[in-house]
Structure 1
Amino acid sequence: MKRLKILALSSLVLALVSCGGDKKESSIPTADSSATTTETTTTASSSASEYDPKRGLGKYDETNVDVSSFDPAMAAQGKAVADVKCISCHKTTDERLVGPGWKGVTERNTPHWIMNFISNPDPMIDVDPELQKQLELCLVRMPNQGLTDTEARNVLEYMREIDGAK
């Protein structure tokens, strides 16, 4: 019985550690910790007041995300990335798994909003009212999957394919 308890506890700890994300920040306080906290709070507050729900937060906007034509090769590469990093939580239908289904996502959001969200979800979850509603429904915060610019763009193209882009 004692071995079973140890095994169960070890499994729980391993699961929690493995789902922790790829955060590279140290939790060790430094002499500037209070300055960093104040700066982060100020940035979050100003981000919330300046937040554009059509664009999101991040480096992508209509000038650097071109979706004027559909690229099946990019969509195929996006599917390969999604199969590894996304599909364990998202279905390609409108059905919710852990996170919401992808069907219709490119009709509800702009391409640059999607790129900003999938490449760095944390700042947007903190300020976007729609994402906060999704969090209340799904109960799980989307982890940052560490997508490269190319991977994020390919996943967007795969999402466009799901929604009928040709």
Structure 2
Amino acid sequence: MSTAVPPDTLDTLYRDHHGWLQGWLRRKLGNRSDAADLAQDTFLRILAGRNAAAIVEPRKYLATIAGSLVVDRFRRRSIEEAYLETLAARPEPTAISPEERTLIIETLLAIDRMLDDFGPRTRAVFLLAQFEGLTYAAIGERLGISVTSVKKHLTRALTQCLILSEA
């Protein structure tokens, strides 16, 4: 069980060793702002944990905590860099060719004509099933028809889709 650090003991530890710790971290990291952040994080760890009065070798203890924070920071940055490299390696979305675009438009027009050829009820059943994802029972309830009728209309519509896809 950790005990709270008396404020005066932590204050003394901070005053006596903060400058040294920040310099030590700056030499390790080569960056003044990262060193300042990790020095603060080191003292926060002590504040949250161990009784500062019980620390026998303060610089060794501070260096151990700060060293583990440096390792954590490098590990986190390594993971971030790997993630960014993975994102950068993903292929760019490709633009569709004019031929593909024409095929897509023709297919959409054929589907539109097919939907027009359905009766109003078959079209409604098909659209509710495909675009709203409703169950047969929900479609029947919404349209005021039986589940058996929903199945018949959907079978008719899907058969037409199959015929269209084979053409």
Tell whether the structures are fold-level matches, with TM greater than 0.5. Answer: no
Q: TM-score interval w.r.t. the shorter chain?
A: under 0.3
TM-score (norm 1): 0.23
Rg larger for: 2
TM-score (norm 2): 0.23
Higher relative contact order (CA 8 A, sep 6+): 1
The structure whose residues are more often helix, as a share, is 2
